[in-house]
């Protein structure tokens, strides 16, 4: 098992985990943006692989996915991009289950594990450290878990405000890398404030040894501060970066500045005396 992601999220400082969609608006631009995010203080980068039916994403990221698909991004081109990246932060691939399931030529009567293994092997070879598959709940994840374990790729699960204690117990056995704590109901998208559900979720996960990162709706340094004060080891932000890309103006510099703002916000949160859960 690779420790890249876990180490990056549970270091001495609170971690910043930005999301952007690979291929939005082009794969060449993505390489530049990833470097900008790393320069701005990103500790892990969540790189979306576009799928045509992104049911867990809101309109901002859905539009990014559409732009990426129109630019011709495919899973294979995504992996080639990851191979070409020259950054020192782990890359986590966020995508939907059907793309994993369809990857490569499948033989007759192949098991799910055999099909998924091809994707995971290629992802590991390309340098992907972890996977987030939002339409794969823990109940259906055994075959992918096996493939990920085999190749040392983390399988990161999302805990929602609605997740029951029974389901949390199931997830605790499966989780690796970090736990992605969904701060509010709904889909991805920048919001004006941090939801109360964040505090409640972190309390419920306090005993878990794996680090917790909070996302869904994070857009300002102050949000990052509040999240870290609430006990999170990391902050995930996506739509706010995707909005900058969609704006199309001085993108790399603005991405770097926004990353810096969120990272500083997270650092400010860590200067309080609140104990860091999961460190």
Partner 1 sequence: MSTTKFGEYGGQYVPEVLMPAIEELTDAYERYVLDNEDGFMDEFRERLADFGGRPTPIQRADRLSERYDAEVYLKREDLLHGGAHKLNNALGQVLLARYMGKERIVAETGAGQHGTATAMAAAHLDMPCEIYMGKRDIRRQRPNVFRMRLNGAEVNPVTVGRGTLKEAINETMRDWATNVEDTHYVIGSIVGPHPFPRMVRDFHSVIGEEIRDGVQKKTGGLPDSLVACAGGGSNTMGTFHDLVPDEEVSLFAVEAGGDELVVDDEEGVAPHSASLSTGSEGVLHGARTKLLQDADGQIVESHSVSSGLDYAGVGPELSHLVDEGRVTPVNVDDTAALEAFHRLSRTEGIIPALESAHALAFLEDELGPDADGEHDLGEVIVVNVSGRGDKDLEAVIEETEKRDLDAAPSMEVMYE
Which spans of this chain sit near partner 1 (rule: CB under 8 A)? 51-56, 58-59, 62-63, 66, 69, 74-76, 96-99, 101-103, 134-140, 157-164, 167, 182, 185-187
Nearest to 15 by CA among 219, 215, 200: 215
Name the catalytic one among 57, 226, 243, 261: 57
Q: Kindly list the distances between the CA atom of residue 127 and the CA atoms of 117, 175, 176, in Å, as whole numbers in the listed order.
A: 15, 20, 17
* Residue 213 CB, nearest approach to partner 1 (Å): 15
Both tokens of residue 45?
């980068």
On the CB side of 187, CA atoms within 13 Å amount to 11
With contact defined as beta carbons under 8 Å apart, do 245 and 68 qualify?
Answer: no
Q: How far apart are CA 34 and CA 22, in angstroms?
A: 9
**What 3-state DSSP class applies to 217?**
coil
Catalytic residue check, 46 = yes
Closest C-alpha among 242, 239, 232 to residue 265: 232
Q: Phi then psi for 36, rounded to 5 degrees?
A: -65, -40
Catalytically annotated residue among 4, 24, 35, 46: 46
In terms of CB distance, is 199 or 258 closer to partner 1? Answer: 199
DSSP labels for 27-45?
HHHHHHHHHHHHHTT-SSE
Beta-sheet strands, E only, within 79-133: 91-94, 128-132
Of 28 and 55, CB closest to partner 1 = 55
Is 57 noted as a catalytic residue in this protein?
A: yes
Write down the least CB distance from residue 192 to partner 1, Å: 16
Query: Residue 49: is it exposed, middle or buried by C-beta count within 10 angstroms (0-12/13-18/19+)?
Result: buried
Nearer to partner 1, 67 or 199 (CB): 67
Shortest Cβ 254–partner 1 spacing (Å)? 25
Distance CA 184, CA 200 (A): 11
Q: With respect to partner 1, which residue has the nearer C-beta, 26 or 191?
A: 191
Active site residues: 46, 57
């Amino acid at each position: 098992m690779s420790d890249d992601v876990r180490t990056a999220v549970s270091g001495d400082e609170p971690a910043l985990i930005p999301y952007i969609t690979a291929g939005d608006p082009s794969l060449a631009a993505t390489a530049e943006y990833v470097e900008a995010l790393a320069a701005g203080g990103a500790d892990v980068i969540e790189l979306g692989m576009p799928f045509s039916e992104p049911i867990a994403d809101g309109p901002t990221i859905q539009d990014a996915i559409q732009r990426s698909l129109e630019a011709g991004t495919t899973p294979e081109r995504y992996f080639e991009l990851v191979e070409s990246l020259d950054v020192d932060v782990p890359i986590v691939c966020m995508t939907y289950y059907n793309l994993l399931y369809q990857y490569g030529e499948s033989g007759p009567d192949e098991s799910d594990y055999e099909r998924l293994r091809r994707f995971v092997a290629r992802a590991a070879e390309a340098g992907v450290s972890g996977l987030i598959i939002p339409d794969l709940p823990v109940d259906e994840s055994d075959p992918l878990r096996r493939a990920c374990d085999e190749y040392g790729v983390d399988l990161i699960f999302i805990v929602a405000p609605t997740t029951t204690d029974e389901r949390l117990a199931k997830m605790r056995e499966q989780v690796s890398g970090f736990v992605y704590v969904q701060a509010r109901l709904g889909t991805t998208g920048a919001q004006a404030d941090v939801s109360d559900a964040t505090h409640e979720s972190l309390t419920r996960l306090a005993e878990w040894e794996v680090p917790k990162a909070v996302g869904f709706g994070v857009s300002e340094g102050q949000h990052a501060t509040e999240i870290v004060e609430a006990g999170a080891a990391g902050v995930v932000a996506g739509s706010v970066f995707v909005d900058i890309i969609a704006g199309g103006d001085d993108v790399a510099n603005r991405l770097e500045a926004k990353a810096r703002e969120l990272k500083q916000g997270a650092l400010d949160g860590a200067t309080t005396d609140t104990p860091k859960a999961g460190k």
